[in-house]
Amino acid sequence: MDRRLTSVLVISIVLVLSSLLLFRGEPLAKRLTEKGWVMYGAHYVTDCNIQQSLLGEDFVYIEYVDCSKHGCPAMVKVYPTWVRYGPNGTVIKISEGLQSLEGLERLARED
């Protein structure tokens, strides 16, 4: 692939990611937590580490349960798994596997 094309692609990706993370006001991770989403995973699972990296420093806002240390509910079959809880603790939705930033953005917008 041509170097200029590669550079343009990298810059485009950075701009898209920046717009998702920076220009939405409140951090995506914080909005996910406010909506009741919890991420279940394990520190040794590559997809969990990638998921954390996608959210960057804002991952501190995520309610995260490391199943290798704390155990997980039976409904968690794969890592990572995102579970949305209602105010009374009932499960509203389960989303399994690594989520793209766009996918996480959709989860954060759900009512």
User: What pLDDT sits at residue 25?
Assistant: 65
DSSP state of 20: H
What's the average model confidence in pLDDT over 92-110? 97
Radius of gyration of the chain measured on its C-alpha atoms: 15
pLDDT band with cut points at 50, 70 and 90 for residue 111: confident
**Contact call for residues 82 and 53 (beta carbons, < 8 A):** no
What's the average model confidence in pLDDT over 16-25? 55
Least confident span in 2-16, 34-48, 89-103: 2-16
Give pTM, 2 decimals: 0.77
C-alpha 72, offset from chain centre: 18
What's the average model confidence in pLDDT over 98-109? 97
